[in-house]
Every structure is written in C-alpha cells, then in structure tokens.
Amino acid sequence: MNFERFIAQRIIGSKTYKNSVSGPIIKIGIVAIAIGMIVMLIAVATGLGLQKKIREKVVAFNGHIIINNFDSNASDDAQVPISLNQEFYPEFHQVEGIKHIQGVATKFGVVRTTTDFEGVVVKGVGSDYDWKYFKEFLIAGRLPDFNGKRNEEVLISSYLANRMGFELGDRFQMLFGDDLKKPPRIISFNIVGVYNSGFQELDEKFCLADLRHIQRLNKWSAQEVGSFEVFIDDENELLLKGQEVYSNIPSTLNATTIAEKYFTIFEWIKIFDNNIYAIIAIMILVAGINMITALLVLILERTQMIGILKAIGHSNWGIRKIFLYNAAYLIGLGLFWGNLLGLTLLFVQKYFKPIHLNPENYYVNEAPVYISLDYIVYLNIGTFCLCLIMLLVPSVIVSKISPVKAIRFD
C-alpha cells in the first residue's frame, strides 16, 4: 500500500472526519451520487423497456419485414395474391439472420350480434404461423389450431370481447362483402381464445382466424396468400435486413420494414433516447458538482495537513492523489447504494408490476423494464470516471497552498 492510499484511508476512517464540518457535506455528496444512479438506472431501464415492448407488439402483428405485391394498396381488402411457390419460402436462405417467414392474408368484415355490430380485420394465418408472441398476450382460453381441416376457431382481443359482450366459447357471425349489389357472405366463428397485447391501436383492429377462409372468400387457390411476414434475429439490423430482403425477392414484390410502415410510432420511441441521454447528463453533472463541493470543503479542512506534507517534501500531485483516492471511495460508496436501491426498484416493477400506464398513450398496460448487465456496467464506469475527472480541477487548489501559511492556518 502506498503512502497516498494510507493517508486517504486514515482520513476516511478518522472520527475527526466523521464529526467535522465536512462530514454532512460529504454525506450529501454520497447521497447525490446514489440518487443520480437510481434515476439513471430507472430512466434507462424503463426507456429501453418501453421501446422493446412496443417493437415486440408491432412485430407480433406484422413481423419485422412485410413482403407484398407492388399492386397492393393500404386497404385490407385490396391485397393482390402472391404465390407460395417462391425461392424464399418456406426458408429464406438467400439472406442470413432470417429466423422465420410465414404467409398471411387479411380481410375486412363486420361482426354482427342481435344488438350491435363492429368492423374488424380478420387476419388469416396458416400452419406455418409462429404463435410465440400471442402466447404471451393470451389471457383466456387457448390459441387456435389450424393444422388440420379448415375450422371456425378464432382468437379475438379483449377489447372486442368487452365491446361486443363476448365470452370464451361464444359463437358470432361475421359478414364479408366486396360488392354492395350482392348479399354479404357470412361465417360463424367460435371464440377459443382471448388476447390482450396492450396495444389498443392493433387490438381493436385484428382477430385471427384460419387463412383458408380468406382464400375462399377471395377465390384464391390454396397456394396463394396476401403477404409474407419475415422475422429476423437481430432487431438492430432491421434496416439492413430490409434492404437485403428487398434485393433478394422478385421485382414484382415489395419489402417494407415495420419502421417504415409504423413510421410515426418508431419516430416517437426514438425520442426516448434523447430523454435518456439528457437525464444521464443532468444526473452526472449534479453528482459531480456535489462531489466537487465536498472535495473543496475537505481540502480546506485539511489545510494544515497539506502544509505539513509539503514541508516534509511531498509533491503537489502526491497530495492531490490523497484527496482523489478519498473522493474515489466516496463515489464508489454512492454507486453501491444507488445500484442496490435502483436495481431493487427495477426488479420489483419487473416481477410485481405495481406501476401501471395508460395503454392509449403508451401502448402498454404497465411500465416495462429492461435489465441488462451491459448498460449497468457502462453507467457505473462512466459515472465513476466522469465524476473523478471533474474532481481533477478543484484538486489543483492543493498546489496553490503555501506550506508556511498552511501550517499557521487555524
């Protein structure tokens, strides 16, 4: 152990330090570091969690990339069929990082009861459909099974169930009509499951049924679908994979990423990054200022010690290191308590969900948190280093202290 560390430990552990004027100020500095870390952890965890959750919900209904015919427009009834006989289906070997591709189709219809009616979009899915996301959304019943013969099983949202007064096991009629001059076609669906994604904009729109109903209504063959949904391994490569997919499909087809289809939503969640950066900067600045104040008070309180050390031949940098070691310990103490309390709050929210949000505004029912060792380590190292760098400037005051005047200082 070198001399500077020994002196720093003696200062930290001394009763004089604990009972001195600098004691309360240093405690305030530690508390500021802890509070700053708590706020930063919560800001990053909830910001990333909300972004991740919203992306997952959009992906659940659309995949990461949508392949459809160039002739199709935005209407759910104007899909131009695409043959399943494609080089990229059922395995997209031409592009790396594609984990799944599925064929789907949509059809607008009207749900009718004896007292009410509601317009919804039936999303037709087949045996290749990945139910991974809807397993998480399922709140009652089970997922439909479309592996056998065509059936009338349907998965509806809790929004539609509440609005129409439906319960699990109920049957309802849905009317489909492309030509006003002809009577609508009717299909009676059986509710086998109810889901709630918390994304009301999509929940109020979609119910999931057998793809073969859409093919029959549109007079398509069993080898035709309205679009393909592509899922990728790494969401951070969405733009790149979207371009690669577009380059590896026939020229008659178009590839659209969910970031392009839901441009407004994805631009909105990008704003969270700016908020996170601003909160981190403010918290580090506040914590740094408090530690600067504590260090200055500690230096002034130890003026005589500084003068004695200079008188016996210690360099300015050696004396500065004593106070920087001391400050590093105090910063570490603040980070420890900040991490302990901050992570405790995050785990409570992750597993018990006491804080709820309005899904109409945030697309989720509760505040989601994303906990990762990566950003926790980066926040701690970044805060520690930046605070210590900020303390280099006030520590320069040590070199301005005259040994003679310092020894006389009282």
pLDDT of residue 344: 97
pLDDT of residue 20: 56
- Angle, alpha carbons 254-256-259 (nearest 5°): 170
Helix (H) or strand (E) holding 110: strand 98-112
Distances (CA, A) of 20 to 24, 289, 306, 394, 406: 8, 20, 17, 20, 18
Tokens of 3: 């001399």
pLDDT of residue 15: 47
Q: What is the DSSP letter of 249?
A: S
pLDDT of residue 114: 82
104 within 8 A of 123, measured Cβ to Cβ: yes
pLDDT of residue 184: 87
Give the integer Cα–Cα distance in Å for 344 and 394: 34
Q: What is the mean pLDDT of residues 12-24?
A: 56
Backbone torsion region of residue 173, taken as left when φ is above 0, otherwise alpha when ψ lies between -120 and 50, otherwise beta: beta
What are 292-331's pLDDT values in tens digits?
A: 888 888 777 777 777 777 777 777 777 788 888 888 888 9
Overall residue count recorded for the chain in this entry: 410
In this structure, the dihedral spanned by the alpha carbons of residues 363, 367, 371 and 374, taken in order and rounded to 10 degrees, is 60
pLDDT of residue 72: 59
* Residues in CB range of 76: below 8 A, 6 or more apart: 106, 107, 108, 121
**How many alpha carbons fall within 13 Å on the CB side of residue 57?**
26
Helix, coil or strand: residue 127: coil
* Residues in CB range of 346: below 8 A, 6 or more apart: 41, 42, 45, 369, 371
Helix (H) or strand (E) holding 391: helix 373-392
pLDDT of residue 394: 80
pLDDT over 60 at 32, yes or no: yes
**How many alpha carbons fall within 13 Å on the CB side of residue 323?**
31
Highest mean pLDDT among 8-17, 21-30, 226-235: 226-235
Tokens of 136: 């998480």
Residue 47 φ then ψ, to 5°: -65, -50
Backbone torsion region of residue 169, taken as left when φ is above 0, otherwise alpha when ψ lies between -120 and 50, otherwise beta: left
Read off the amino acid at residue 261. K
What are 125-134's pLDDT values in tens digits?
A: 999 999 998 9
pLDDT of residue 293: 86
What are 358-393's pLDDT values in tens digits?
A: 877 788 888 899 999 999 999 999 999 999 898 888
Tokens 């760098």 -> residue: 389
CB atoms within 10 A of CB 364: 19
Q: What is the DSSP letter of 366?
A: B
What are 77-106's pLDDT values in tens digits?
A: 667 899 999 999 999 999 999 999 999 999
pLDDT over 70 at 8, yes or no: no
Q: Is 15 exposed, middle or buried (0-12, 13-18, 19+ CB in 10 A)?
A: exposed
What percentage of residues in the chain have a pLDDT greater than 90? Answer: 60
State yes or no: cis peptide before 144, omega within 30 of 0: no
pLDDT over 50 at 335, yes or no: yes
What percentage of residues in the chain have a pLDDT greater than 70? Answer: 89
Helix, coil or strand: residue 92: coil
pLDDT of residue 149: 92
Tokens of 360: 């109409």
Residue 399: which pLDDT band, with cuts at 50, 70 and 90?
A: low
DSSP string, 300-347: HHTHHHHHHHHHTT--HHHHHHHHHHHHHHHHHHHHHHHHHHHHHHHH
Residue 26: which pLDDT band, with cuts at 50, 70 and 90?
A: confident
Q: Is 271 exposed, middle or buried (0-12, 13-18, 19+ CB in 10 A)?
A: exposed
Tokens of 19: 């009972």
Give the integer Cα–Cα distance in Å for 70 and 186: 30
Distances (CA, A) of 144 to 199, 209, 225: 21, 8, 19
Average pLDDT, whole number, for the chain? 87
pLDDT of residue 183: 84
Tokens of 387: 């605070």
pLDDT of residue 16: 46
pLDDT of residue 97: 93
Give the integer Cα–Cα distance in Å for 405 and 410: 10
